[in-house]
Amino acid sequence: MKSSYLIGALTFFLISMQLSAQEDSLLVDPQLVIEEPAYKPYDPLSPARAAFYSAVLPGLGQAYNGKYWKIPIVYTALGVGVYFYFENDRQYDRYRDAYKSRLAGNTNDEFYNENGQPRVSTSGLIEAQRFYQRNKEVSIMVTLGLYALNIIDANVDAHLQQFNVSEDLSLKPNLDYDRFSGTTGYGLTLNYNF
């Protein structure tokens, strides 16, 4: 008899828990509702427009895409390339002026010490000019590469903003249990809804 009371009480408890769970699930807190991300409508010219804006003014394509945090990175990268170009140009001019001064027969350029002895030989001045000339050219190439990367970034980012990831297109693994043979089959489903 005790067991029938215990089973009855357990059944009542489970049914009441189930009813209260159903009742709570119907109440939806509006703050907990997760909204799907809003995608921009498809605009086939948006990537070209973003690339054009970045080509006209670096960082403008990133602003067009709404990625404002990338603008300081773009200007820092281009600024570093321009800085190294001008610094290498200044050093190149120093060594070129000293070399021209030595060719004219002067012994008072900045590469002489207090005793009148050259700290840098004439061949050293020629090598330094070649070194800084090559560094100037590398700085130009790196700056142009970063400028092109700015344009590519704006274009790719505009493409990816229009990429819609929703449940209409999903790839999910699944297990299929065969009741007749008692074996499990593994599979992969691809759902594509129009």
Is 80 exceeded by the pLDDT of residue 125?
Answer: yes
Distance CA 133, CA 71 (A): 30
62, 154 Cβ separation under 8 angstroms: yes
For residue 38, the model assigns a pLDDT of 58
Is 80 exceeded by the pLDDT of residue 123?
Answer: yes
What integer is the mean pLDDT of 121-137? 93
In the chain, the percentage of residues whose pLDDT exceeds 90 is: 45
From residue 169, give the alpha-carbon distance in Å to each of 34, 47, 165: 19, 23, 7
Lowest mean pLDDT among 29-38, 91-100, 172-181: 29-38
The chain-wide mean pLDDT, for the chain, equals: 80
Is 90 exceeded by the pLDDT of residue 186?
Answer: no
Distance CA 144, CA 147 (A): 5
Q: Rounded to two decimals, what is the model's pTM?
A: 0.62
Distance CA 126, CA 134 (A): 12
pLDDT band per the 50, 70, 90 thresholds, residue 120: confident
For residue 114, the model assigns a pLDDT of 78
What integer is the mean pLDDT of 80-109? 91
